[in-house]
Amino acid sequence: MAVLIRTAIVFCLLVAGSNTVRAQEGSEAKPEKEPKAKKACFRIRNTRSFDAVDDRFVYVRCVRDRHYLLTMDNACLGLQNSIAVALANGYDRVCSNDHAFIIYQEFDQTRRCGILNVEQVEDRDAALELVELRKKPEPAKGKDKKTAAPDPSGGRR
C-alpha cells in the first residue's frame, strides 16, 4: 500500500467547500441521442480541475481545453460533498478499466472508489447532458402498491 500511495497519488485538489457541478433543471427538451463521447485516456498531471456531478459521475477538465467524464464502478457515497479529492493510479495515465481510482475525504474518513470508464467530451455541458441521459429513472413510490392493512373481518360486518 505504501508503494501504491508513493507512486500513485500525483495530483490532489483540496477544496474549501463543496465545489460540485449541479445539473440544471429546466424545461429544455432532452436530445434523442447522447452527445459525442469517446473512450479516452488522460495524464494525471494534466488535470486542472474536477467536480463530482453526483456520487457516480465526475467531470474532469485538463490542459489544452480537454474535458472528460469519469464513471465510477459503484456509487461513491459522499463523493459529491467531499472536501479533498485525489486521482490515483500506478501509472501516469488514467484510462477505462485500468484500476485507477479516486481517493476522497468525507468528513473524517478517507474513501476510495474505482474508475470504470473514461470518456472525452466536448465540454462540461456535454458531460452534464450525458449524466442526465444515463441516470436511471427513479421508480414511482407507492402508486401501484396498496398500503392499507387488510381488513381482519374480511369485509364482513
Which residue's C-alpha cell is 445539473? 23
Strand, coil or helix: what is 87?
A: strand
DSSP annotation of 146: -
Number of domains in the chain: 1
The percentage of residues in the chain with a pLDDT greater than 70, rounded to a whole number, is 64
Give the domain extent around 88.
8-16+35-134
Asked whether residue 30 is domain-assigned, the answer is: no
pLDDT at 2: 37
User: How many whole angstroms separate alpha carbon 63 and alpha carbon 43?
Assistant: 10
pLDDT at 9: 34
DSSP annotation of 150: P
Asked whether residue 29 is domain-assigned, the answer is: no
Asked whether residue 79 is domain-assigned, the answer is: yes
The whole model's pTM is what?
Answer: 0.66
DSSP annotation of 75: -
pLDDT digits (tens, 9 = 90+) for 103-144: 999 888 999 999 999 999 999 999 999 999 988 666 666 555
pLDDT digits (tens, 9 = 90+) for 58-109: 999 999 999 999 999 999 999 998 888 899 998 899 999 999 999 999 888 9
In the chain, the N- to C-terminal Cα span, in Å, equals 71
Q: Considering Cα of 112, then 118, then 120, then 126, what sign does the dihedral take? A: negative
Cell numbers for 146, please give them: 396498496
Asked whether residue 147 is domain-assigned, the answer is: no
